């Protein structure tokens, strides 16, 4: 049901943005038209340019304009470490720590059978080929600690172990500055189970 | 500081949307690129079309593709009633009541001296010319009951009274289904002050 009016069409088009319902879309459209026509023009151009230019890096599967992204080509990174994350935002979180200098593979999702997302949809074959390049020594699973992220990590660890790769998982525990009193019991229990030698 | 990368540029461009910060912009960009490229294309087109085609109706100041919008041209509306609202969303709220069949004037804002929005910025001259067309008998002020909306209503009522027009203000009071117990004291006080004969 497309409207013939360009205002209604814009409002409808804005709803493709995640978390934007009819009311927000309306507010956004009026804001752009009344107060930020330049911004709206830039957004239209930005969308066009991104759709035309961006594709998936053939090595890490993240978005890039080249065939292989700068990060994957960097000589300053350790190619023996491969960190698997669900989405580009997760990769950014890892990078912000400045505590990791290996390479990445972005799944662009997580196993979610109820949504019809299985190993095929996530192209696990490509990931396995990437991890089996003979250079990678350790695969670090950094999927989220949600049910789906955990399931994805378990599934992947079996496939990767079968190929003789060392597989690790980022740690769970209390957050930095965290207090036992205000932490949920499951996290405290996990922190206890995964306690480390302390010297 | 414009980035040369089309992904960063898209993320930056998305921030022109009201209420969208850096994190949401990132999430939106990744969502569009990964899951809704068609939607992104439609959005780019929608923005372009809206920017090119939409302008302000010369009568009601709302957005339209024609010189005068359909609503202002409608023969089924009472041209003697002119309702003044702040924004197009407010006009939609009025229309949804199906209780008003007069015409509108959209201020596209409210008086807000701290933000540099005065009578000149809102083009009150145009509104006064519109209200003084000889056909309008009553002007209904339907600006919001915020401090700024109230100030705008008071300011306009003086200008409109000076031109010999009948000016009214939509009522304040308890909402339909409202209970005194759960209503703020100012609203209850207002409902008491503005009580009506009941038969």
Chain segment A137-166, per-residue pLDDT in tens: 999 999 998 899 999 999 999 999 999 999
For position B199, what pLDDT does the model report? 64
Question: Chain B residue closest to A93 (CA)?
Answer: B23
User: Does residue A16 sit at the B interface (CB-CB below 8 Å)?
Assistant: yes
The span from the CA of B79 to the CA of B118, in Å, is: 28
Give the mean pLDDT of chain B. 90
Q: In what helix (H) or strand (E) does residue A79 lie, and over which residues does it extend? A: strand A78-85
Average pLDDT over residues B152-167: 93
CA–CA–CA angle B191, B196, B199 (5° rounding): 135
Per the CB < 8 A criterion, the answer to whether B160 and B140 are in contact is no
Question: Chain A residue closest to B36 (CA)?
Answer: A16
Concatenating the DSSP letter of every residue in A120-137 gives TTTTHHHHHHHHTSSS--
User: Does residue A144 sit at the B interface (CB-CB below 8 Å)?
Assistant: no
Beta bridge partner(s), residue A56: A63
Following CA atoms A89, A90, A96, A98 in sequence, which dihedral angle do they give, to the nearest 10 degrees?
-140
Per the CB < 8 A criterion, the answer to whether A102 and A84 are in contact is no
User: Does residue A22 sit at the B interface (CB-CB below 8 Å)?
Assistant: no
For position A98, what pLDDT does the model report? 85
Three-state DSSP at A21 gives coil
Residue B159 scores a pLDDT above 90: yes
Three-state DSSP at A167 gives strand
Give the mean pLDDT of chain A. 90
> Chain B interface, mutation test: which of A17, A26, A112, A117, most B Cβ atoms within 10 Å?
A17
Model confidence band, residue B99 (pLDDT cutoffs 50, 70, 90) = confident
In chain A, residues with a C-beta closer than 8 Å to the C-beta of B109 are 34
Helix axes A6-14, A22-35, angle to 10 degrees: 120
Q: What DSSP designation does A117 have?
A: B
Closest CA to B146 of B106, B186, B183, B119: B186
Helix axes A88-96, B22-35, angle to 10 degrees: 140
- Burial B146-160, CB ≥16 within 10 A → b, else e: eebbbebbebbbebb
Average pLDDT over residues B5-25: 93
The span from the CA of B99 to the CA of A44, in Å, is: 38
The span from the CA of B62 to the CA of B53, in Å, is: 13
For position A199, what pLDDT does the model report? 64
In chain A, residues with a C-beta closer than 8 Å to the C-beta of B10 are 46-47, 49-50
- The label of the residue with tokens 């609202």 reads B85
Model confidence band, residue A3 (pLDDT cutoffs 50, 70, 90) = low
For the sheet with B166-169, list strands across it.
B102-106, B78-85, B138-141, B166-169
Q: What is the pLDDT of residues B134-148, one digit of tens each?
A: 999 999 999 998 899
Three-state DSSP at A60 gives coil
Residue A1 scores a pLDDT above 70: no
ipTM metric: 0.72
For position B4, what pLDDT does the model report? 60
**Terminal-to-terminal C-alpha distance of chain B:** 67
User: Does residue B63 sit at the A interface (CB-CB below 8 Å)?
Assistant: yes
Beta bridge partner(s), residue A63: A56
For position B185, what pLDDT does the model report? 81
Two tokens at B129? 């010319």
Strand A55-56 and strand A63-64: the pairing is: antiparallel
Helix ranges (H only) for chain A are 6-14, 22-35, 37-53, 70-73, 88-96, 124-131, 147-162, 185-193
For position A136, what pLDDT does the model report? 95
Q: What is the pLDDT of residues B43-63, one digit of tens each?
A: 999 999 999 999 999 999 999
Average pLDDT over residues B84-105: 90
In chain B, residues with a C-beta closer than 8 Å to the C-beta of A31 are 17-18
Strand B63-64 and strand B55-56: the pairing is: antiparallel
- Nearest Cβ partner of B46 from A13, A65, A88? A13
User: Does residue A40 sit at the B interface (CB-CB below 8 Å)?
Assistant: yes
The span from the CA of B31 to the CA of B54, in Å, is: 28
């Amino acid at each position: 049901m497309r409207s013939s009016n360009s205002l209604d069409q814009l409002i409808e088009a804005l709803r493709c943005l995640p978390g934007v319902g009819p009311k927000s879309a309306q507010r956004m459209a009026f804001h752009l038209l009344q107060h930020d026509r330049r911004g709206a023009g830039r957004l239209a151009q930005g969308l066009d340019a991104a759709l035309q230019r961006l594709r998936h890096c053939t090595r890490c599967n993240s978005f890039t304009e080249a065939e292989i992204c700068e990060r994957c080509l960097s000589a300053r990174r350790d190619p023996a470490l491969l960190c698997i994350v669900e989405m580009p935002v997760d990769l950014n979180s890892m990078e912000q720590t400045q505590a990791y200098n290996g390479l990445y593979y972005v799944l662009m999702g997580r196993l979610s059978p109820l949504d019809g997302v299985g190993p095929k949809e996530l192209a696990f074959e490509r990931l396995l080929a990437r991890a089996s390049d003979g250079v990678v020594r350790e695969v670090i699973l950094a999927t989220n600690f949600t049910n789906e992220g955990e399931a994805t990590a378990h599934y992947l660890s079996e496939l990767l172990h079968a190929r003789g790769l060392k597989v690790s998982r980022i740690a769970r525990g209390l957050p930095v500055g965290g207090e036992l009193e205000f932490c949920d019991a499951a996290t405290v229990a996990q922190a206890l189970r995964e306690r480390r030698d302390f010297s």
